[in-house]
Structure 1
C-alpha cells in the first residue's frame, strides 16, 4: 500500500468513523478497510468543482 501523509485532523475523522463502524457491526474492523471504504465513497461523491475549490485554497496560501 502506498504511504501518503494524512493530516492529523483528517485521521481523527477516520478514527471516529472506525469507531462508528465497529459499534454498528459489533465486529473488529481494520483501519485499512475503513479507510478504503471512505475513499471509495468519497470518489463516488467528488466533483470537478471540489478540485477547483481545493486549488483556489492552495493559491491563497
Structure 2
C-alpha cells in the first residue's frame, strides 16, 4: 500500500513538471479581469433586480 502511494506521488511530480504554467503577469491580469467582470455582473444583476422589484411592486399596489 505504501509503495503504491509513493509511486502515485512520483507520478504526480512527473506530470506537474510537464505542465506549462502561466507567468505571474498573465495570472495577475486574468485575476484583475475576473474581479472586474464579477463586479460589473453584480451591478447589472442588482439593477435588473431593482427594476423588476419596482415594476412588480407598482403592479401589485
**Structure-1-length-normalised TM-score:** 0.36
Structure number having the greater helix percentage: 2
| Larger RCO (CA within 8 A; separation ≥ 6) | 1
- Considering only CA atoms, is the larger Rg found in Structure 1 or Structure 2? 2
TM-score (norm 2): 0.36
